[in-house]
Amino acid sequence: MNDRFHPFENCEAAVELPQRFTCPFCYEPHPLALLAVEQVQRYVAGRDDWAEELAAGKMLGVLVALDGQGRLGYLAAFSGNLAGSVQHDFFVPPVYDLLDPQGVFKQGEARITAMNHEVERLEHSPELLALQQREASMKQEMSDEIGSFKAMMALHKQERDQRRDAGGLTDEEREELLNQSRFEKAELKRIRRRHEEELAKTTDEIGAFCCRIDHLKARRKAMSEALQERIFRLFIVKNGRGETRDLVDVFKPLGTLPPAGAGECCAPRLLNYAFNNGLKPMCMAEFWWGDSPVGEVRHHGHFYPACRSKCKPILDFMLQGLDVEENPLGQPMDEDALDVVYDDDCFTVLNKPSGMLTVPGKLLDDSLLTRYQDAFPEAHGPIVVHRLDQETSGLVVFAKDKITHKALQQQFENHTIKKRYIALLEGQVLQDEGIIDLPLLPDIDDRPRQRVDYDQGKRAVTRYHVLERSDGLTRIALEPFTGRTHQLRVHCSHPQGLNCPIVGDRLYGNASSRLMLHAQSITLVHPASGQSMTLECAPPF
């Protein structure tokens, strides 16, 4: 009996099976996944012993599968560890148990911890502290003596100058004054040399001491890197073809070792368990439970795509052999004519549809730019003045020549171009208008997501004005003063912003047919005529 596989009861006839497996990077949960999520949520809500930890935030996941007897059921997983363990009966086990006290990781970690203690002991040892204090004292003594001697030299020089100015000196007296000056300068060098020679001995002792610490740190780093690689060799994952590969080999084509935490997320755990236990994956979903982490945007109960930095290379391998849904964000759009809002000899303003890239991407050449170049072959030099997210629709300005491009770019840099967006938000924004000021920083572990970071983030400012509230939704106008990546999406969804995600925001809210964000108007100065002009395009929602 497999106690990690939880069969559904009497639902096969009520819900149609998915035709293809879920694309983990862009999806709407299948009804069967929603059913599994509901059961997992009931289970975790009943675990009072986990309540506090789960309330702080945890990513959970489900995978719907068929077992060898044709029964339909689901697997459940959590990311990282829970209640100090990665082994809980209701959930699938990890790909590799990092917390096993007899395992490679814990034993290697203990050795590195012992070395950390030795480094810390040396860095705070009384011997090193005494040497550093002695060095500081010697430097002060050197400074004091040299300072006093220089003051005396200045006084003697003043006296010599007065005697010279008074006149009547004999040749012998002038020579005597000159010799006094020469002697004092030589004596200053002797004083400095004596102190430097004495100081060098102490400095060398400190250097030798620090050398021991640096040597230990170098050993610690080498041990840590070797342990990391050894551990990732133990994270062995299987794909839909029955092939296995460790994470070092999975990430090798990228020319890097796996990042910390790779293989510990829900999706790899769920798929690996299914493949190793003869289960046929049908669909999956990952959702957030509890409060949002500091700086990030996660909403309780919302579904999220798999992270790209840690999970994408792993899942690209593991999904081989499964018939997986196409990622709609990686597919060319239907061949529709460009929607030209304005065009003259200097520039063109286009209405970009949601789902189209502004410029070609890593995996997709089709874009607004490539279509524009086909339709307007006379455009040359830098063309792209600004960009919109792939999922955002609305006005985009393309220049037709270098001079126009430079002039429009300058307006953007000087913040004289005004843009207005219309968005539909989940929930009701209570305040009619206001300003959001939250600094943003790219989330290096989950690009292209952004996070709020008051220490390293770049300032991002947005003005908002509520247009309408109805049926639990808010229609809102947004005017960005800055142009940070995902600025409007984060400012709307973050708890310190409006705390109302944009409808259809798969990264910061809930995925749906499209992201309800539209660049509705743009005001700029025409580079040739110098006239201010406002161009508008109504949102399609």
Helical spans, DSSP H, in 455-510: 487-493
Q: Give residues with Cβ within 8 angstroms of 181, minimum separation 6.
A: 156, 157, 160
Candidates 67, 89, 365, 389; catalytic one: 389
| Residue 165 falls in the annotated catalytic set | no
Task: Give the C-alpha distances (Å, rounded to integers) separating 505 from 57, 271, 296, 373, 392.
Answer: 20, 26, 14, 30, 10
Nearest Cα to 258, choosing from 227, 278, 228?
228
C-alpha gyration radius of the chain? 34
Tell me the three state secondary structure of residue 60.
strand
d(CA 369, CA 383): 8
Number of residues that this document lists for the chain: 541
Asked if residues 421 and 379 have their Cβ atoms less than 8 Å apart, the reply is: no
Tell me the three state secondary structure of residue 31.
helix
Whole-angstrom distance between the N-terminal and C-terminal Cα of the chain?
A: 51
Task: Give the C-alpha distances (Å, rounded to integers) separating 489 from 53, 366, 391, 449, 484.
Answer: 28, 24, 11, 10, 10
Nearest Cα to 74, choosing from 167, 7, 174?
7
DSSP state of 328: G
Which helix (DSSP H) or strand (DSSP E) does residue 477 occupy? strand 473-480
d(CA 326, CA 348): 32
Hey, what are 170's tokens? 């004999």
Hey, what are 365's tokens? 């050449």
Kind of pairing, strands 440-442 and 532-536? unpaired
Tell me the three state secondary structure of residue 226.
helix
Which helix (DSSP H) or strand (DSSP E) does residue 263 occupy? none
What are the E-state strand segments in 366-459?
393-399, 418-426, 433-437, 440-442, 450-452
208 by Cβ neighbours in 10 Å (0-12 / 13-18 / 19+) ranks as exposed
Tell me the three state secondary structure of residue 394.
strand
Q: Give residues with Cβ within 8 angstroms of 162, minimum separation 6.
A: none
- β-bridge mates for residue 205, sequence order: none
239 by Cβ neighbours in 10 Å (0-12 / 13-18 / 19+) ranks as buried
Q: What is the DSSP string of 129-155?
A: HHHHHHHHHHHHHHHHHHHHHHHHHHH
Would you name the residues annotated as active-site residues? Answer: 389
